[in-house]
Structures are given as structure tokens and as C-alpha cells.
């Protein structure tokens, strides 16, 4: 069942708007056919999010994405017609992350009614474009106490940090001066360069340490 579900998810060309919505509808219908209520929300138009919750309260969230980047060239067969070769599934998004999403869907179906806390299933279509049109709103709306994401990160390590994006606007005030007396001025460009160098050092010196349990 898990293999067939993965292959079905792969078959959607989820880098264009129409098939993003078709895939979202398939996921919703799948969960409803298993006896769960599900809905499709668009926090931002054009980016469907599938949501299903087993109850009220602060949940444990299962989160995956069904969008993919375009397949590019070099495929020996249609990347959206999945095939199994030597016990491996090949197709666009098989790893990132249609297989992981299928596992989360099945996990939700199997476990949602068996836990003493709410389980929240979420599938977003904005991961490849930054996560600001789906996952961001989910975190703000539901405030889960724990999140399990089926993104492939390797099976032999626990990740304690992840790269991110930092956008900063820096402003400096200068003082103009005549070209014959530059010493009387204050060059704002040079001040910005100094700011960037200081910021670069701060970022490069930042390290991620292994969390330690506090001793009582």
C-alpha cells in the first residue's frame, strides 16, 4: 500500500499550479476515505495546504510537502511515471519528498486515534519556494509541541542545526564634503562595509552545540 501511495504521489507534476491543487485534493480524499476529516486551505492564493487533525489542543504535527522543482534533463524515462528497479522507486520527488509524505499519511491514519494527544497532519506546497506560504502559517496557527518532518536527512545521524536565510537592512548616515576636502566628510559606504565585516564575523563565529539536559 505504501509503495502504491508513493507512486501515486510521484505521478503528479507538482511544480505547476493545476497539479498542485490536484495532488492536494488527492491527499484530502485519501484521508477522508480512511475516515478522517480533512480540509484544503490557501493561506496564500495558489499554495494549497492539506490539514487534518485528530482533536483539539496543542498537537504533535506531521509535516510534509508535495511540491517539487522541475525535473530538468537527463532522465532515461518519464520522471512522473514512477518505476521500481532493484527494490527502489525512481521518479521526480521520490526522495524529496513524496515517499516521506506517503509515510506521514500512513502514520497519521494508523496512529491518529490511538494517542492521548492530538495528532495533526499537514501537507504543504511551498517548501521548494521558502516555506512562507504554508508552513509559516501552520506554525503560527497551531503552535505544535513537537513536529515530525519526513524530509530526507539521512538515517544515521540526528541533526541539531540547519542552515537558514538571514535578511538584514543596514542603514548608515554619512556627511557630504567637497572633493577637495574629503576629510571633512563621513563616508557612509565605508561605514556600511565595516558593518558587513562585523556581521560576517558574528555569523562565522556562531556555532550549534548539542543540547544538554538540565540537572535538577
How far is residue 107's CA from residue 82's CA, in Å, rounded to a whole number? 22
List b or e across 161-197, with b for residues whose CB sees 16 or more CB atoms inside 10 angstroms.
eeeeeeeeeeeeeeeeeeeeeeeeeeeeeeeeeeeee
- Alpha carbon of residue 42 to chain centroid: 16
Closest CA to 15 of 126, 134, 95, 101: 126
How far is residue 108's CA from residue 36's CA, in Å, rounded to a whole number? 10
DSSP per residue over 86-131, as a string?
TTEEESTTIIIIIHHHHHHHHHHHHHTTTSSS-EEEEEES-GGGTS
Residue 127 annotated to the active site: yes
Per this entry, what is the length of the chain? 216
| Catalytic position from the list 67, 73, 151, 200 | 67
Residue 86 annotated to the active site: no
Give 157: exposed, middle or buried? Use CB within 10 Å, 0-12, 13-18, 19+. Answer: exposed
How far is residue 11's CA from residue 96's CA, in Å, rounded to a whole number? 14
| Catalytic position from the list 19, 96, 126, 127 | 127
The catalytic residue positions are 67, 127
Amino acid at each position: 500500500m505504501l509503495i502504491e501511495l508513493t507512486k501515486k504521489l510521484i505521478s503528479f507534476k507538482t511544480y505547476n499550479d493545476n497539479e498542485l491543487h490536484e495532488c492536494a485534493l488527492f491527499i484530502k480524499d485519501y484521508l477522508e476515505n480512511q475516515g478522517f476529516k480533512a480540509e484544503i486551505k490557501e493561506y496564500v492564493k495558489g499554495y494549497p495546504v492539506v490539514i487534518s487533525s485528530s482533536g483539539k489542543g496543542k498537537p504533535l504535527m506531521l509535516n510534509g510537502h508535495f511540491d517539487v522543482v522541475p525535473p530538468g534533463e537527463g532522465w532515461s524515462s518519464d520522471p512522473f511515471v514512477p518505476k521500481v528497479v532493484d527494490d527502489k522507486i525512481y521518479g521526480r520527488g521520490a526522495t524529496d519528498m513524496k515517499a516521506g509524505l506517503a509515510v506521514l499519511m500512513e502514520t497519521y491514519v494508523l496512529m491518529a486515534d490511538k494517542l492521548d494527544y492530538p495528532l495533526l497532519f499537514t501537507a504543504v506546497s511551498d517548501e521548494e519556494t521558502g516555506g512562507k506560504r504554508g508552513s509559516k502559517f501552520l506554525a503560527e496557527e497551531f503552535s505544535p509541541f513537537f513536529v515530525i518532518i519526513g524530509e530526507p536527512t539521512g538515517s544515521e545521524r540526528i541533526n541539531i542545526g540547519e542552515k537558514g536565510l538571514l535578511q538584514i537592512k543596514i542603514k548608515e548616515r554619512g556627511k557630504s564634503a567637497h572633493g577637495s576636502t574629503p576629510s571633512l566628510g563621513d563616508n557612509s559606504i565605508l561605514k556600511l562595509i565595516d558593518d558587513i565585516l562585523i556581521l560576517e564575523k558574528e555569523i562565522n563565529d556562531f556555532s550549534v552545540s548539542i543540547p544538554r539536559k538540565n540537572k535538577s
